[in-house]
Amino acid sequence: MRFFERLADRIDAVDSVVSVGLDPDPDRLPEHLLDRDLPRWAFNRRIIDATHEHAAAFKPNAAFYEDPDGWRALEETIAYAKGKDVPVILDAKRADIGNTTRQYADLLDDEADGPAADAITVNPYMGRDSLQPFLDKEDKGVFILCRTSNPGGADIQDLELAEGDLVYERVAALADGWNGNDNVGLVVGATTPDELEEVREQVPDIPFLVPGVGSQGGDAEAAVEHGLADGVGVVNSSRGIIFAWEDDQSRRRATEGDEEQFAGASGEAARRLKRRLNQYR
């Protein structure tokens, strides 16, 4: 079964298009987890337990695992999430040339030391040959950066080309042409709802990964209305879910002896986002 088929099944099973970003910033982990062998894994396991019933996907960002213990934590995280039947999107934004990009694409291959992610984010700046090893993996999802949610995305993505289209519009058109295996998605942020709508009009059949809803204040209605292709796509929140416990009420409960309150707060945040997004589905 191909990635977007598995994702569609998961969306139907939990009635949700929420992607939970697993970005375990070591400076923000609960203090009682810091003496564990792998604090990031200990944190993620509790977040997964609390949120999986509301999650269409989990999205760990590779930046939070770029060290030996981090890769171990990531392997455990991916295995545990997949054990809950939740697809995993590795937010790695990889791409390069030749043998280098083939090595990056191996992140999607199951190996003896642990299962691989189901999908990955990639950067199209170096062109098709830098993405081809990812595109060739027919059963894996490939989310191509198109119109990102950060304010600086406009510096390059909104530039007008000689033919009159904008860079992000050209990326969407190229991605549509590269989708021979029906495994391509686009990353289009909810913080630019007009551009999100424009990209959807341009590529009606490609699912989107929509970041920016949550702590970045993106447009949830636009994320659902334009982010889904035939009901398939995900809307991601990372900090707004996994660090929901940092509000004052949760901190007070934690000081009263409930050390696991952070996980419950994350589960409630995921449930609220699911309910919010489902208003527009």
Please state at what angle helix 128-135 crosses helix 98-105, rounded to 10 degrees.
Answer: 30
User: Residue 107: exposed, middle, or buried by beta-carbon count in 10 A (0-12, 13-18, 19+)?
Assistant: middle
Active site residue 82: no
Please count the CA atoms within 13 angstroms of the CA of 38 that sit on its side-chain side: 19
Marked catalytic residue, from 59, 93, 137, 140: 93
Neighbour tally for 138: CB within 10 Å: 11
Neighbour tally for 181: CB within 10 Å: 15
Residues 6+ apart with CB under 8 A from 103: none
CA dihedral 245, 246, 247, 251 (to 10 degrees): 80
Catalytic residues: 93
